[in-house]
Amino acid sequence: MQKSFVKNALALAVIAATAGAAFAQENSSVQMYGIVDAAVRHTNNEGTSGNSSQTRMIGGGMSQSRWGINVNEDLGGGLKAIANLEHRFLADSGTSAATNYFQQSWLGLQGGLGRLTMGRQYNILFDLVTSTYSSFPYSPYMEAYKPEIGLALGARTNNMLKYTAEFGPVRGALQYSFSEKDVVPNPTNARTAGGYLRYSQNGFSAGLGYQNYQLPQGAKLEAWTLGGSYRLNALYFNLGYGQNQLKGTPGPIDGAVVASFWSGDTNGGFSRGAADKRQLAKVGFGYQVTPQINAGLHYFHAKQSGSPVGADNGKAHFLVGVVDYAFSKRTDAYFGVDYTKIKGGSAIVLDPVSRARDRTGVTVGLRHRF
């Protein structure tokens, strides 16, 4: 009798444990994903002197290498719990691509009324541009050369609440992030607010977005963007416009934050000086030559103004063309050529070392998604 009872109890315990595991497996999922991308890039007018050149391996030509985890749990009644952790790294060296180990780290709830997420995540400017009028239909932008991201206020924001709702072809989003009131001003913990509205149907997409950024010492950076795209069989067209406007009197930390957003040769950056306004217009197209070959060509025009020093005001032209060959759904190779030219504004340069005002880059790389 006692042995039978023990056996039955053990059997019930095994069944209960199995049922619990099955329930968890059926109603929740944890998915790991990633991209490994490495390329060789050659540029002229870069280095210790204005006419030198560099050839180097970079840890992300078409995409920045990453690995991440998506969590999804069905809570019943149409409600789901969601979470994401994503780390960015450089494939050429195996080191982190940024100070933040996780470039995304958020969790939230999703249901019939939309999705609410909280944590470090993409801001609404980045969301709108990459989902609505991205430069390439198979990759939102080229990591090694991305002028379209230069006015996105850093692309990600800490301490953010973001609400997204979608009703048929219309999607809208709102964001707010907390300043945290650091004793020492911390630009990564800035107060931001903004939103976008997007329409997408029958190959046509268009949207408008606005975001402000409260700088640590009291000045404010306001940004807005609008644009659209159209897909017609193998053809893809896109155009867009973005603007950043600095308001108030920026202190040294404020100025450094704005300069960090606007600098960097990979995002079409050039030196700010004392300018308080920057604009960028883009137009481009893509064409799927064969099921395996995609080609794209894009032009960007930038204008910087508002500085009392005339040498800080000027224009820049950016041109990039890419051909991508897909070995499979997960692995592709690419070849890209880009060119940058600054006009006017004698003090504006691409980087403080070479002091270059024009540059050509050639990138050849390989990418694998998992």
The per-residue pLDDT for range 333-361, each reduced to its tens digit, is 999 999 999 999 999 999 888 889 999 99
CATH annotation of 28-369: 2.40.160.10
90-94 mean pLDDT: 96
227-248 mean pLDDT: 97
| pLDDT band for position 23 (cuts 50, 70, 90) | very low
Predicted local confidence at residue 232, as pLDDT? 95
Residue 232 CA to residue 222 CA, distance in Å, equals 34
Task: Give the up-direction half-sphere exposure of residue 15: CA atoms within 13 A in the CB hemisphere.
Answer: 6
Predicted local confidence at residue 190, as pLDDT? 85
Domain residue ranges of the chain, discontinuous segments joined by + = 28-369
Predicted local confidence at residue 211, as pLDDT? 98
pLDDT > 90: what percent of the chain?
Answer: 81
Predicted local confidence at residue 11, as pLDDT? 43
3-state secondary structure the chain: CHHHHHHHHHHHHHHHHHHHHHHHHHHEEEEEEEEEEEEEEEEECCCCCCCCEEEEEECCCCCCCEEEEEEEEEEECCEEEEEEEEEEECCCCCCECCCCCEEEEEEEEEECCEEEEEEEEECHHHHHHHHHCCCECCECCECCECHHHCCCCCCEEEEEEEEEEEECCEEEEEEEECCCCCCCCCHHHCEEEEEEEEEEECCEEEEEEEEEEECCCCCEEEEEEEEEEEEECCEEEEEEEEEEEEECCCCHHHHHHHHHHHCCHHHCCCCCCCCCEEEEEEEEEEEECCCCEEEEEEEEEEEEECCCCHHHCEEEEEEEEEEEEECCCCEEEEEEEEEEEEEECCCCCCCCCCCCCEEEEEEEEEEEEC
| pLDDT band for position 140 (cuts 50, 70, 90) | very high
Choose among 290, 289, 291, 365: nearest CA to 329. 291
pLDDT digits (tens, 9 = 90+) for 263-289: 987 888 999 999 999 999 999 999 999
Predicted local confidence at residue 186, as pLDDT? 64
Q: Say whether pLDDT at 98 is over 80.
A: yes
- Number of residues written out for the chain: 370
Q: Say whether pLDDT at 17 is over 50.
A: no
